Amino acid sequence: MLKFKTYRATLVAVLLMSQALVARAQLPDFTGLVEAASPAVVNISTRQKVPQRAMAANGQQIPDLEGLPPQFREFFERSIPQQPRNPGGRQREAQSLGSGFIISADGYVLTNNHVVADADEIIVRLSDRSELEAKLIGADPRTDVALLKVEGKGLPILKLGKSDDLKVGEWVLAIGSPFGFDHSATAGIVSAKGRSLPNESYVPFIQTDVAINPGNSGGPLFNLDGEVVGINSQIFTRSGGFMGLSFAIPIDVAMDVATQLKSAGKVSRGWLGVVIQEVNKDLAESFGLEKPAGALVAQVLQDGPAAKGGLQVGDVILSLNGQPIVMSADLPHLVGALKAGDKAELDVVREGERKMLAMTVGALPDDDEELVASAAPGEGVSSNRLGVAVVELTAEQKKTLDVISGVLVKGVQDGPAALMGVRPGDVITHLNNQAIDTSKTFATIAKALPKDRSVSMRVLRGGRASFITFKLAE
Q: How many angstroms from the chain centroid is the CA of residue 293?
A: 19
The closest of 227, 233, 226, 186 to 207, measured between CA atoms, is 233
The answer to whether 286 touches 449, Cβ cutoff 8 Å, is no
State the catalytic residue, choosing from 177, 191, 217, 286.
217
- Give CA–CA dist 196/327, Å, rounded: 10
Cβ-defined contacts of 276-282 (< 8 Å, 24+): 276/317, 276/328, 276/331, 277/328, 277/466, 277/467, 278/327, 278/328, 278/329, 279/316, 279/328, 280/469, 281/454, 282/454, 282/456, 282/469, 282/470, 282/471
Backbone dihedral region of 237: left (phi > 0), alpha (psi from -120 to 50 degrees) or beta? beta
CA distances from 162 to 60, 100, 159, 320 (A): 40, 18, 10, 22
Amino acid symbol at 306: A
- Give CA–CA dist 254/269, Å, rounded: 13
State the catalytic residue, choosing from 140, 144, 182, 315.
144
- Give CA–CA dist 232/119, Å, rounded: 20
Per the annotation, the verdict on 333 as an active-site residue is no
Work out the angle at residue 260's Cα, subtended by the Cα atoms of residues 151 and 216, and round it to the nearest 5 degrees: 60
- Give CA–CA dist 71/239, Å, rounded: 9
Say what the alpha-carbon torsion angle 89, 93, 99, 102 is, to the nearest 10 degrees: 130
State the catalytic residue, choosing from 96, 99, 114, 328.
114
| Count of C-beta atoms within a 10 Å radius of residue 326 | 15
Non-local (6+) Cβ contacts of 60 within 8 A are 80
- Give CA–CA dist 353/137, Å, rounded: 49
Per the annotation, the verdict on 114 as an active-site residue is yes
What single string gives the DSSP state of each residue in 42-106?
EEEEEEEEEEGGGSBTTS-----GGGS-HHHHHHHHHHS-BPPP-TT--EEEEEEEEEEEE-STT
Amino acid symbol at 359: M
What's the longest Cα–Cα distance across the chain?
Answer: 103
Per the annotation, the verdict on 177 as an active-site residue is no
- Give CA–CA dist 194/249, Å, rounded: 10
Q: Which residues are catalytic?
A: 114, 144, 217
